[in-house]
A and B are shown apart, each in its own frame.
Chain A
């Protein structure tokens, strides 16, 4: 079972890499085709229109390299799911107890959110920024020994371990997609590229993803408070990880208010989302350098 988990993990890692390669190549080939067509038409308005049409075809079309990319992304999700399931069977609890397990779980969240949004908005180009996040998380997991130790007393709460962390994965996955769309938005607006999707669409995807991520992050923090109260005798203690999660919550809260009430759109909102995801990663990796009570990394 342990071997099965390892193999599935490696297969997942390779699939994510391959899917990303397909997306990058598909994107680059559009760029090439567009340059050629623009050359042929001397960059006239017709060329621009054609380029636009091609972009639609490749980012939304059912076939081609991007199509393979998206198929392989599904496959990657299946492999990573299998790795997590096998791991759960081996270790006897949710695979959330150290940085190795949690990195894979986080990557799973990113992949799942990516696949969901790609399907829903038929927007493959999202993978250009979402898949690298998943890939980096899985690569990071390869640097951590995959051995496992029995749970220390503080983690011996199967219900809260599972719900607290599983809910975190949904939130983080949502924020990763929001980041991917925001990064595309910034890229599109600064390069003025017509290959990329409409700015409004990217803005909408980001918002949609935060709308899913934010309530789940709220739940993560509340469940964390419940657990802290059971294990440490207080619901809040300014532990660095607690504080970092509050920072993340405040940034996404600010984003939602800015967008809904003050009508923030475009680059301003996109930068706030990049900041939010930086805070998410800080919350996630923070315990590696600021210590605190969440130091279960298995890296000591």
Chain B
């Protein structure tokens, strides 16, 4: 398949118009007609361009307009409160943006629809294009007509008195010296020797590789979002062991956390020493830092945040322990003056909010070395007890004994398991390789025709098309000059 005929193959609109008019004339639904219409539509570059620019536009909106934090949309009240907070910024557009799904662009129907359509288009185009590329690479057309040499964008003609064999050998030598593959095709009937030469003949497959890579990446992303697990707020108080969710069967013990700072107050390092258990058996341990996570069997632990924790003990009237461990004070009060954590005693159907004073603040109700407890029964709006505990002094509240043992830090981790990742990295690698292959290793194809007549005259015609290879012109001139030179002053 030549450049010329490939160009002809691209001129599908003619066929497309034919199919469309066919559909019009034949009102009855025909499955093959519909399939062909789909094929024509999704192999159309016009559609692909519209999809790419449409996605670009939506993504632009997604980076300019504030996006709703993950998980907020599932709770209508929280979401509405969040929307109200945006009013001062977007005014009357808030409702419109909300209707159009512009506050969650990347999960919107628009974005997903365009992404699916583009994926379909990529697949269709790759399927359509691969056989052509294969044929051009493995069984290239070796014979070109005289008209080709007359009208090709790049052409040259070199007169020679050499025999056909010598002329062929000379021309071939020049191209081989320039690292071109050469294929000789002698036409006995017209006494013409055809020579086809090419370079980087596998490079055009970079297109197919890069396009399929995009599909592989999207498939990986889909696997990740369907089967993956992610917890961005996994807090482990130092000295405590906390089970990981998502069916991982793992639990994490933090043995130490440290945060250090430069002289100017900017953070220099955060690190947590972690031990990972499965069914009570230690399976991994590592001191993690930002940029240096711990990974165990596909589940990875990343250093993300930290804060204060209260080590609490709760026991029943018989002295049996109901709770022993750190409670991370994860949340801040609206005015940032207090830190709040939650402890659940599920067997007793009791929820305890542990309230401490934020560092650097003074609170008349909670002094240094104290924690306040707000104790609720499950499902009730009002606490049945609000008490202040002093460190190390147990307090009995409705039959249970609560002790605030000491302050501690918690380390905040991101826990992530993403089974789609191998696909994503495979796709990313293929995408980069494909792109570099296509653009850095141009596939160059030149045809030559050698004519030697019995009267001792003859010529070598060179021709090439190379529509998309901007750097081809000097290359062609260089090669033609070398061929001319090789035939010596006689030519």
Within the assembled complex, what's the spacing in Å between the Cα atoms of A153 and B306?
A: 14
CB–CB A254/B52 < 8 A:
yes
Check: A247 CB closer than 8 A to any chain B CB.
Answer: yes
Pick from A215, A247, A258, A282: contact of B432, CB below 8 A.
Answer: A215
Count contacts on B: residues with CB < 8 A to the other chain: 51
Pick from A152, A219, A236, A247: contact of B56, CB below 8 A.
Answer: A247
CB–CB A153/B289 < 8 A:
yes
Mask: chain A, 226-238; 1 = CB below 8 Å from B; 0 = not:
1001111111101
For residue A154, which residues in chain B have a CB less than 8 angstroms away from its CB?
Answer: 290-291
CB–CB B63/A247 < 8 A:
yes
For residue B62, which residues in chain A have a CB less than 8 angstroms away from its CB?
Answer: 238, 243
B346 vs chain A, min Cβ distance (A) = 29
CB–CB B289/A261 < 8 A:
no
Q: Give the residue name and chain of the B residue nearest to A208 (CB).
A: B470
A189 vs chain B, min Cβ distance (A) = 19
- CB within 8 Å for A153 and B421 given contacts A208-B470, A238-B106: no
Within the assembled complex, what's the spacing in Å between the Cα atoms of A219 and B106?
A: 23
CB–CB A240/B46 < 8 A:
no
A270 vs chain B, min Cβ distance (A) = 15
- CB within 8 Å for A231 and B53 given contacts A152-B267, A260-B468: no
Mask: chain B, 242-271; 1 = CB below 8 Å from A; 0 = not:
000000000000000000001010111110
Check: A214 CB closer than 8 A to any chain B CB.
Answer: yes
CB–CB A233/B300 < 8 A:
yes
Pick from B52, B67, B268, B432: contact of A153, CB below 8 A.
Answer: B268
- CB within 8 Å for A211 and B56 given contacts A150-B262, A150-B268: no
CB–CB B56/A251 < 8 A:
yes
Of B60, B268, B414, B440, most A-chain CB atoms within 10 Å:
B60
- CB within 8 Å for A236 and B221 given contacts A154-B290, A218-B432, A225-B428: yes
Q: In residues 127-177 of chain A, which contact B (Cβ within 8 Å)?
A: 149-150, 152-154, 156-157
CB–CB B48/A257 < 8 A:
yes
Tell me the interface secondary structure of chain A in the complex.
helix
Q: In residues 441-476 of chain B, which contact A (Cβ within 8 Å)?
A: 468, 470-471
Interface residue range, chain A: 35 or more
Q: Give the residue name and chain of the A residue nearest to B428 (CB).
A: A222
CB–CB B435/A150 < 8 A:
no
CB–CB B302/A250 < 8 A:
no
For residue B266, which residues in chain A have a CB less than 8 angstroms away from its CB?
Answer: 149-150, 152
Q: Give the residue name and chain of the A residue nearest to B67 (CB).
A: A238
- CB within 8 Å for A286 and B63 given contacts A149-B262, A230-B291: yes
For residue B439, which residues in chain A have a CB less than 8 angstroms away from its CB?
Answer: 211-212, 214-215
- CB within 8 Å for A204 and B49 given contacts A212-B439, A218-B432, A290-B63: no
Which residues in B have some Cβ–Cβ distance to A below 8 Å? 10, 45-46, 48-49, 52-53, 55-56, 59-60, 62-64, 67, 106, 221, 230, 232, 262, 264, 266-270, 289-293, 300, 302-304, 414, 416, 418, 421, 424, 428-429, 431-432, 435-436, 439-440, 468, 470-471
6 A-B pairs with least C-beta separation: A153-B290, A243-B63, A215-B435, A250-B56, A233-B302, A233-B414
25 of the cross-chain contacts (CB-CB < 8 Å) are: A149-B266, A150-B262, A152-B268, A153-B290, A153-B291, A157-B291, A207-B470, A211-B470, A214-B435, A214-B439, A218-B431, A222-B429, A226-B428, A230-B293, A231-B290, A231-B302, A233-B302, A238-B67, A241-B63, A251-B53, A254-B49, A257-B49, A262-B45, A279-B60, A282-B60
